[in-house]
Amino acid sequence: MLRRGSFSLPEGVIYLDGNSLGPLPIHTPERVARMLREEWGAMLIGGWNGVTRNGAGWMEQPMKLGDRIGRLIGAEPGHVTVGDTLSIKVFQALASALAMTDRKVILSDSGNFPSDLYIAEGLMGTLGQGHSLRVVEPEAVADEIDGEVGVLLLTEVDYRTGRLHDMAGLTARAHQAGVLCVWDLAHSAGALPVDVRRAGADFAVGCTYKYLNGGPGAPAFIYVAPRHAGSARPALSGWLGHDAPFAFERSYRPGDGVARMRVGTPPVIQMAALEASMDIWDTVDLQELRLASIRLTERFIAGVEATCPDLELASPRHPAARGSQVSFQHPEGYAAIQACIAQGVIGDFRAPDIMRFGFTPLYIDEDDVDAAVAVIARVMGERLWEDPRYRERGAVT
Ligand SMILES: *Cc1c(COP(=O)(O)O)cnc(C)c1O
């Protein structure tokens, strides 16, 4: 499972934050440089053309990359596209779903990422049709699905605790009640096997800069179930989602299937970086990845609990109930994480008191887990977090 040689990681660092920003694949700089020199530099505008017309195929890349990501999330070929940011794709998926129902309630949970909830609020205001957002505890979601709810908007893996929703079970329950489902896979894609087709998801979205190593600012992806792909209203009806962008027609006509979810010019440089990371991901067996991830998280939890009595597990104890991250709670969590980072163990902090550690078996192994546990034990045991230098907050935590 280990592909440490495929990534460029600084010496002496144990990187447990690949769930937030995946590290650089070693072939990315070369691929991006090639894109700049041989594609943009040499082909100029011709780069948009397909390779058969001496271009670099930039225009087709969002769908090609979509299929490569599609394999990781169990999507039918041709039903995923790439572009924009995840927040924008949440907007599009939710707006499309709301346009398919007369019901006015959006159901989500308090473990959802704020941007998803903010986007829902903003969209409701823009629509001005009396929609409301019902946010409940994650454990209460199943019981809150009723005939008033139009759309269930959930993130499968909770960004704070790593708690994993039962995507297939909740989707089945929602469908029985006539509710459409939008699943956010930000902390799932590349973290564990996902099967949007089997689960019956109506829409799914996610990002490529976390577990998928596409780099900061890498584009998001969106999946539309084939049964909706020909009828979904993309909400952001940009020219590249038009059926014939270069016909420059007066009025919008949606493109074929999920291609209608494209909006404007795709980020070609970022897509070159994403191609380089997908060269690695194309070869990863997700079942194997999941087993390795569980071995690492189980070992980490056992190690921390044996050595750090002050830390309380905030993640589900059963591995089947969590994604590929482990969180602990401590009132001085922020300073404690800063102290860990100073000792070479990079995790992160999520307010109010969550110390979060992501496990990515492509470049983290059992020895790293043991070394990380030793550092955390020292930080907690020797109260290194008391040092004032670790209390100053940066813009990004
Ligand atoms: C990381 C994350 C986002 C971030 O959205 P961007 O538009 O890429 O900044 C949104 N939603 C969830 C669930 C996330 O985990």
What pLDDT score does 16 carry? Answer: 98
Ligand 1 center from residue 207 Cα (angstroms): 7
Task: Give the residue-averaged pLDDT of 253-267.
Answer: 97
Asked if the model's pLDDT at residue 195 lies above 90, the reply is yes
> What integer pLDDT is reported at residue 128 of this predicted model?
98
Q: Does the pLDDT of residue 166 top 90, yes or no?
A: yes
Extract the tokens encoding 178.
């006539």
Residue nearest to atom 12 of ligand 1 (CA): 113
Ligand 1 near 116 CB (within 6 A): yes
- Whether 377 has a pLDDT exceeding 90, the answer reads yes
Distance between Cα 367 and ligand 1 center (Å):
31
Query: Ligand 1 atom 6: the closest Cα is on which residue?
Result: 86
Check if 101 has its Cβ closer than 6 Å to any atom of ligand 1: no
How many residues are listed for the chain in this entry?
397
pLDDT band at 395 (very low <50, low <70, confident <90, very high): confident
Q: What is the mean pLDDT of residues 190-200?
A: 98
Q: What is the mean pLDDT of residues 318-339?
A: 97
89's CB contacts (< 8 A; 6+ apart) are: 205, 206, 220, 221, 222, 261
Distance 216 CA to ligand 1 centre (A): 12
The CB density around residue 91, as the number of other CB atoms within 10 Å, is 22
Q: How many CB atoms lie within 10 A of CB 34?
A: 15
| Chain segment 196-216, per-residue pLDDT in tens | 999 999 999 999 999 999 999
Across the beta sheet with 105-109, the strand order is 80-82, 221-224, 203-206, 180-184, 149-155, 105-109, 132-136
Q: Is the CB of 359 under 6 A from ligand 1?
A: no
Percentage of residues in the chain having pLDDT higher than 90: 98
Over residues 213-227, mean pLDDT: 98
CA of residue 370 to ligand 1 center, whole Å? 30
| Predicted pLDDT of residue 396 | 78
For 91-147, how does the pLDDT look when each residue is reduced to its tens digit (9 = 90+)?
999 999 999 999 999 999 999 999 999 999 999 999 999 999 999 999 999 999 999
CATH of 28-281, one of 3.40.640.10, 2.130.10.10, 3.90.1280.20, 3.90.850.10: 3.40.640.10
CA 16 distance to own-chain centroid: 16
Whole-angstrom distance, CA of residue 75 vs CA of residue 362: 23
Q: Is the CB of 159 under 6 A from ligand 1?
A: yes
Atom of ligand 1 nearest to the CA of 209: 8
The fold of the 285-391 domain, in CATH, is Aspartate Aminotransferase, domain 1 (3.90.1150)
Do the beta carbons of residue 126 and residue 169 sit within 8 Å? no
What does the block give as tokens for 85? 């940011």
Could you tell me the two tokens for 330? Answer: 């401590």
The CB-side HSE value for 130 (13 A sphere, CA atoms) comes to 4
Q: Is the CB of 390 under 6 A from ligand 1?
A: no
**Tens-place pLDDT, residues 73-95:** 999 999 999 999 999 999 999 99
**What value does the mean pLDDT take over residues 28-51?**
97
Q: What is the pLDDT of residue 227?
A: 98
pLDDT of residue 352: 94
Nearest-angstrom CA–CA distance, 236 and 205: 15
Count Cβ atoms within 10 A of the Cβ of residue 316 and give its class: 0-12 exposed, 13-18 middle, 19 or more buried. Answer: middle
Rg (alpha carbons) of the chain, rounded to whole number: 22
With beta carbons less than 8 A apart as the criterion, state whether 358 and 352 touch. Answer: no
As a whole number, the mean pLDDT across the chain is 97
Can you tell me whether residue 221 is helix, strand or coil?
strand
pLDDT for position 48: 97
- Residues marked as catalytic: 113, 184, 209-210, 356
- Residue pair 105/134 in contact (Cβ under 8 Å)? The answer is yes
Q: Are 73 and 204 in contact (CB under 8 A)?
A: yes
Q: Write down the pLDDT at residue 371.
A: 98
pLDDT at 72 over 80: yes
Give the C-alpha separation, 236 to 92, whole Å. 7
What's the pLDDT score for residue 394? 76
* pLDDT value at residue 344: 97
Which residue has a Cα nearest atom 2 of ligand 1? 186
Asked whether 271 lines ligand 1 (CB < 6 A), one says no
Does the pLDDT at position 247 exceed 90? yes
Q: Is the pLDDT of residue 397 over 80?
A: no
Q: What value does the mean pLDDT take over residues 294-301?
A: 98
Cβ of 211 closer than 6 Å to ligand 1, yes or no, is no
pLDDT at residue 393, rounded to an integer: 81
CA 174–ligand 1 middle distance (angstroms): 24
Q: Is 221 left (phi over 0), alpha (psi -120 to 50) or beta?
A: beta
Q: Where are the domains of the chain?
A: 28-281, 285-391
The predicted pLDDT at position 349 comes to 96
